[in-house]
């Protein structure tokens, strides 16, 4: 097991190195320059700005400094905001993290429950409802769903309530200050993931229910409740756990469009703006941060998966 973890850590480091290197060189391929928005564009000003951010050095030397700084956890100074990129991430990421955590808890708990019930009650109204929710969740993009939720719950219902009870509001349209503000963006972000988990759980549960060991358990006279809880769900949930790493990384880092629609002060807006204004250090820092988060989440899920299913011997080794 230790050998496997060390091997996975090595792969993770290689992945992050490739990601950071590709990001560095692709940034240099963008047309224009990172000082497009500067008011004063005299040769002296441009020379001083390039010197300040190390852009006057050869690309090879810039790359060496860039990798050395990343290894020390130094993301540099944002060209546009003139602040440490690490400080911006520290300030904005908690909002994205909270949004993602709320969405993930809702998506995983409801998705697993819907998928399992749909498979166990196959052909009933539960199955039809679960399938309908899955189709809607997969088909409708988050930005459209977010807009629809705003229109129905934050505008129409607010108008209806105000006409009946003046001054009463149902849910706010935008913001991230109270618990009511956090309901709609969390729901908009979670529906697509909920649908995917529900479909995967349903398919996996149906697969397990037709397995030989389930038939053996039934022949031994075990009750349906015992079979479902001890044998079916425990094995059916394994494929869901496998995809939780990428799902967690995607949700916990927030979704850019949902943050923009609901005016959530998360990290997404900084990442999008940094690309538009060619803020090299901001692009590199946020990309590396997202990549590291994804790699760590995937590694954690791989290890957890091995412990949950004792039949697995990772890397051909023993635990």
**Nearest-angstrom CA–CA distance, 23 and 271:** 13
Closest alpha carbon to 76 in 316, 287, 298:
287
H or E element in which residue 184 lies: helix 183-209
Q: Where are the domains of the chain?
A: 2-316
**Nearest-angstrom CA–CA distance, 21 and 26:** 8
| Residue tagged 């166990």 (tokens) | 120
The distance of Cα 177 from the centroid of its chain, to the nearest Å, equals 22
**How confident is the model at residue 37, as a pLDDT?**
53
For 42, phi then psi, to 5°, come to: -70, 155
Count of residues in the chain: 319
**How confident is the model at residue 46, as a pLDDT?**
62
Taking only the tens of pLDDT, the chain with its 319 residues reads 677 778 878 888 898 889 888 888 887 776 666 665 544 456 666 666 667 666 667 878 888 888 888 888 888 888 788 888 889 988 888 898 899 889 989 999 999 998 888 888 888 888 888 888 888 888 888 778 888 888 888 788 777 777 776 666 678 888 888 888 898 898 888 888 898 899 899 989 888 888 888 888 888 888 878 888 888 888 888 888 778 777 877 777 667 788 888 888 888 888 878 877 778 788 888 888 888 888 887 777 777 766 666 555 444 444 4
DSSP 79: T
Residues 89/73, Cβ–Cβ less than 8 Å:
no
> Both tokens of residue 37?
């928005």
- Specify the pTM: 0.76
**How confident is the model at residue 318, as a pLDDT?**
45
**Nearest-angstrom CA–CA distance, 39 and 27:** 23
Residues 263-284, buried b or exposed e (16+ Cβ, 10 A)?
ebebbbbbbeebeebbbbbbbb
Identify the CATH homologous superfamily for domain 2-316: MetI-like (1.10.3720.10)
Give 229's contacts (C-beta < 8 A, 6+ positions apart): none
CA distances for 66 relative to 56, 61, 63, angstroms: 14, 8, 5
């Amino acid at each position: 097991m230790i050998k496997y973890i060390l091997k996975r850590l090595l792969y993770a480091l290689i992945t992050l190195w490739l990601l950071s290197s590709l990001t560095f060189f692709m940034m240099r391929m963008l047309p224009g320059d990172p000082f497009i928005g500067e008011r004063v564009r005299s040769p002296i000003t441009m020379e001083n700005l390039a010197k300040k951010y190390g852009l006057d050095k050869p690309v090879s030397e810039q790359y060496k400094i860039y990798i050395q700084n990343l290894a020390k956890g130094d993301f540099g100074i944002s060209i546009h905001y003139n602040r440490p990129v690490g400080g911006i991430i520290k300030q904005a990421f908690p909002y994205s993290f909270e949004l993602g955590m709320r969405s993930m808890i809702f998506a995983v708990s409801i998705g697993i429950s819907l998928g399992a019930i749909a498979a166990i009650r196959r052909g009933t109204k539960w199955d039809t409802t679960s399938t309908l929710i899955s189709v809607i969740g997969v088909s409708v993009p988050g930005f459209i769903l977010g807009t629809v939720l705003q229109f129905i719950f934050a505008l129409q219902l607010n108008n209806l309530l105000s006409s009946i009870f003046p001054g009463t509001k149902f849910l706010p349209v935008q913001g991230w200050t109270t618990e009511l503000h956090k309901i709609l963006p969390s729901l908009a972000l979670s529906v697509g993931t909920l649908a995917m988990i529900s479909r995967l759980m349903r398919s996996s549960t149906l697969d397990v229910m037709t397995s030989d060991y389930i038939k053996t358990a039934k022949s031994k006279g075990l009750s349906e409740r015992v079979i479902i809880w001890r044998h079916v769900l425990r094995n059916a949930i394994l494929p869901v756990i496998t995809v939780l790493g990428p799902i967690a990384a995607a949700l916990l880092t927030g979704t850019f469009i949902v943050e923009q629609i609901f005016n959530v002060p998360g990290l997404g807006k900084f990442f999008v703006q940094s690309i538009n204004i060619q803020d090299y250090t901001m692009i590199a820092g946020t990309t590396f941060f997202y990549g590291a988060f994804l790699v760590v989440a995937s590694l954690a899920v791989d290890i957890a998966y091995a412990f949950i299913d004792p039949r697995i011997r990772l890397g051909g080794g023993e635990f």
